[in-house]
Amino acid sequence: MLLEVEGMTLAYGNITAVRGVSIAIPEGSLVALVGANGAGKSSTLNAISGLLPISGGAIRFEGQSIGRLKPHEITRRGIVQVPEGRRIFGRLSVEENLLMGAFSRKDHAAIAEDRDRMFELFPRLKERRRQVAGTLSGGEQQMVATARGLMARPRVLLMDEPSMGLAPLVVEQVFETIQSINAAGTTVLLVEQNALMALEIADHAYVMEHGEIVLDGAGPALARDERVIAIYLG
Amino acid sequence: MSTLVERSAAGETVASWTSDFRRGVGAGLGGALVAAYLGAVGLLLMMNDRPVVAGMVTLAQVALGGIALVAGVLAQRRARHGAQPALWTSPLAGLVAALVVLAFANLILAVNLRSIFIALTPPLARLISFGQVKSLGGAGLFVAAAMVLALAGGLLQRAPRSLRRLILPAVTTVLVAGVFQDFIKVILQSNPVFRSVASWFYGWDGLSPRGALTVFAIALVLAAIPRVARGRAAAPRTGVARFAPALVLLVALILVPLAGGPYVAQVFLLVGLYVLMGMGLNLELGLAGLLDLGFVAFFATGAYVTALLTADSPLALASYTMIPSLSFWAAMPLAVLAAVAVGILFGVPVLGVRGDYLAVATLGLGEIVRIVVLSDAAAPVLGGAQGILQIPKPTLGGFEFSGPVSLFYLTLVAAGFAAYCAWRLERSRLGRAWIALREDEDVAQAMGINLVQCKLLAYAFGAAFAGLAGSIFAVMVNSVFPSSFQLLMSINVLALIVVGGLGSLPGVALGALVLIGLPEALREFGEFRYLFYGVALILTMRLMPDGLWPARRSRRAPVLVEPEGEGTALGANRA
Ligand SMILES: Nc1ncnc2c1ncn2[C@@H]1O[C@H](COP(=O)(O)OP(=O)(O)OP(=O)(O)O)[C@@H](O)[C@H]1O
Ligand SMILES: [Mg+2]
């Protein structure tokens, strides 16, 4: 198992947001985590990234516990989050945002190569490479956030609602991009409100409710599961 | 409400007529109020002692005329979604302002108000009405003049931007040439060539009328040249042209103190020290977004370490330890290192503190440093309130940096070196990390930025610059006292980088010149200098929120232009 969350519990003060959650993510897979608003999905990702201290359980990367590491140390091991709501660096240019993504890398030639690859993947960004990222449209900002995450050459990419606030056509493009990233060898943990779409492309998926995992299984199978449909379409 | 009004054409004209009327009266009343206020606090009488053009116009009269002009400008300003007010609103504003000022002047003459405001005297009444209170004809002339000025203001507001950009700098230059004539004359007197030039512009009693006209004409031409040149080659400014303003600023900084003698050099020396500190705080606040009101602590550290290592006093380390007495050149790097150490110590307790709380926490830390220095416990080492005396001037191969002029050049070299470091830092990986940190701390960490290291480095670099300034300050005044290191100093540094433009290097120099240099040149106004200071702060923040010289990465810059960038995509967009 590349990344493993085991019996993890998270609390904000004395409010427990996540209770005994276990998630297993094999190398090269695309795993989805879906659930209603406030289920605890973002909290789970933040805990994996080290931005939130865990109050119980363990997080292991390649068998080693990373639950006590600082955020930048976790990033250096190859676990990178594309946060919810984009959160690009508004005053840096598009290109500088991408370079920030590669902050912990030292291989300058490869960084420049990756940047050009990102501009191939998102030609819109190439046109606007010197534009201050805060002035981009919502969809363009999501492209920056995704490209910035990829610039870290992550082993595991944690994506928090990459389709939020995007037009349906753009959502499809984003999902295609995620699939192609995954096909190129990056392990992906995808959190989505757009549950059915996420389940369709996921190798394995977990359904979260009130801070607990209530269901899990192969993605496309879950998409047809009556209980899931009841939650999301009922 | 406005949509309702737009229903009928007749209703619309009535509405616009009344709103224009209100606008004109409002602008006039506002102008009169400002004039009355300046008079009541006594500032106008004081300004009347400073001629702008000899025998013709004093600063007070310029201010009064300026008020009428600005009232006319404001009357013409369109409301946020409104139409352009009619032109007659401007003279209306002038009329209202003049009538109110006349009434005020008569009130002063009729009623003794001196028990409330000591400045409300007959001379003031004559001053604000230009001596025209007595006769009806005179009053008519006064009102007419105010209306003409206000109309001129209104026309200026309506004039094309390019015309305004020619006239305003020219008028400003004449004002500067007049108001700062003592300062300028000192510089011009320094050598015979200048002296003969000076006699054209300045008589024994100040800027002559022909001098004022010449200055106006020269400034007009100078302001026109870049426009004409740019009109011809309608390309984005490149190379030399881009750096020309900075170059002019630099040359002025280098030459003016040399020509101006000790007093001018002293002012510039002070400006230089603030520039050094400003560049330091700019790294902390402008890049990393760490608000620091305890900045003076680093400056004090630099000064005290220099004193302890070099002074010829019983408190010097050399007199009671094995440490030898050092020269300034050996002590300065140590002072900078000590400031860096204090910067890091300073940063540790406030690592997790953000935003407003950070301002308060650093304010506390800065005060702690000052109080520790003042305390009895530290007195045997640091001298308490008596401070450390007898700090020798630096010498270099027989040359002593004894006067302000030589010390200014020392500061200039230090500032140049510091500016280069700051410039490199901003474009470095660390600089980008600081900016990212300011934008979003959590995400910056998730990008792999070490929060603790990054913040402490910001404090360390900021402190280094301030320590260097403190070291030079110590040899400048030959002594260090705790009372030299007040909170006001931190606030000054903060204000000057905000006014200059957060994150902008030339902005720091400009801000220091305006906020530190100008008040020095306005010494005769005493406490009123802080009024100018306050007005300058408010005006720049209202009119130029990004500062006098906005940073490349200012709030509203949509595109970052790199000097060496390939810029193909950008060029295509522009075309
Ligand atoms: N900083 C915080 N302090 C207190 N409670 C918090 C904090 N952050 C999140 N919570 C709570 O924790 C719970 C889980 O939040 P989380 O952001 O993980 O939900 P989510 O599954 O990502 O929801 P969404 O789909 O709406 O983004 C919510 O009830 C939320 O109110
Ligand atoms: Mg969420």
Q: Which atom of ligand 1 is nearest to the CA of A211?
A: 14
Mean pLDDT of B312-327: 84
Q: Which residue of B has its CA nearest to A135?
A: B558
Neighbours of ion ligand 2 (CB under 5 A): A 42, 84
Q: Which 3 state secondary structure label does DSSP give B396?
A: strand
Q: Which residues on chain A are in Cβ contact (under 8 Å) with B569?
A: 126-130
Q: Chain A: residue nearest B503 by CA?
A: A91
> How do residues B356-375 score in pLDDT, each as one tens digit?
888 899 999 888 888 888 88
Going by the DSSP 8-state scheme, the letter that residue B79 receives in this structure is P
Tell how far the Cα of A42 is from the centroid of ligand 1, in angstroms. Answer: 7
Q: How confident is the model at residue B112 (pLDDT cuts 50, 70, 90)?
A: confident
Q: Confirm if A189 and A157 have CB atoms less than 8 A apart.
A: yes
Nearest CA in chain A to B444: A100
Position B8 scores a pLDDT of: 52
Q: What is the mean pLDDT of residues B10-15?
A: 62
Q: What is the per-residue pLDDT for B557? A: 60
Bridge partners of A217, per DSSP, are A205
Contacts of A50 in chain B (CB under 8 A): 445
Is the pLDDT at B186 greater than 90, yes or no? no
Cα(A91)–Cα(B558) distance, integer angstroms: 9
In DSSP terms, which residues pair with A24 in a beta bridge?
A4
Residue B554: per-residue pLDDT: 63
Decide: residue B424, CB within 10 A, 0-12 exposed, 13-18 middle, 19+ buried.
exposed
Domain ranges of chain B: 18-158, 161-229, 269-486
Instruction: Return the ligand 1 atom nearest residue A193 CA.
Output: 25
Q: Is the CB of A35 under 6 A from ligand 1?
A: yes
Whether A5 is in the pocket of ligand 1, judged by its Cβ within 6 Å, is no
Task: Answer whether A48 contacts ligand 1 (Cβ < 6 A).
Answer: no
Q: What is the pLDDT of residues B200-219, one digit of tens each?
A: 888 777 788 888 889 899 88
CA of A140 to the centre of ligand 2 (A): 20
Nearest CA in chain B to A48: B446
Alpha-carbon gap: A179 to the closest alpha carbon of chain B (Å): 22
pLDDT in the model for residue B163: 85
CATH homologous superfamily of A3-78+154-233: P-loop containing nucleotide triphosphate hydrolases (3.40.50.300)
**CB distance A41 to ligand 1 below 6 Å:** yes
Residue with the smallest CA separation from ligand 1 atom 16 is: A40
Which residues belong to CATH 3.40.50.300 in chain A? 3-78+154-233
Q: What is the Cα–Cα distance from B360 to B35, expressed in whole angstroms?
A: 38
Residue A17 beta carbon below 6 angstroms from any ligand 1 atom: yes
State residue B446's pLDDT score: 85
DSSP annotation of B401: -
Cα of B443 to ligand 1 centre, how many Å?
A: 17
Q: Whose CA is nearest to atom 30 of ligand 1?
A: A38
Nearest CA to ligand 1 atom 14: A40
Ligand 1, atom 29: closest residue by C-alpha: A38
Q: List, in order, residues 6 or more apart from B331 with CB less than 8 Å away.
A: B305, B306, B309, B310, B471
Residue A30 Cα distances to A21, A75, A146, angstroms: 18, 19, 16
- Alpha-helical segments (H) within B41-87: 43-47, 59-76
Residue A172 clears pLDDT 50, i.e. is over it: yes
Higher pLDDT, B425 or B556: B425
A153 has a chain B CB within 8 A of its CB: no
pLDDT at B84 over 50: yes
Q: Which of B438, B449, B558 sits opposite A72 (nearest CB)?
A: B449
Question: Three-state DSSP class for B237?
Answer: coil
Quick one: pLDDT at residue B238? Answer: 54
Segment B274-282 shows an average pLDDT of 95
Least confident of A115-119, B5-9, B144-148, B459-463: B5-9
H helix count then E strand count, chain B: 26, 6
For residue B516, CA distances in Å to A38, A138, A207, B279, B505 come to: 53, 44, 63, 15, 16
The CA distances from residue A218 to A36, A44, B266, B418, B459, in Å, are: 19, 20, 78, 60, 51
Q: How far off is chain B from A193, nearest CA to CA, in Å?
A: 21
Nearest CA to ligand 1 atom 6: A12
Top residue of A126, A132, A155, A159 to mutate, by most chain B CBs within 10 Å, is: A132
Restricting to A residues 87-146, those with a Cβ less than 8 Å away from any Cβ of B are 87, 89-93, 96, 99-101, 103-104, 126-132, 135
Rounded to the nearest angstrom, the minimum Cα separation between A93 and chain B is 7
* A103 pocket-lining for ligand 1 (C-beta < 6 Å): no
Ligand 2 centroid to A43 CA: how many Å? Answer: 7
Check residue A156 and give its pLDDT: 95
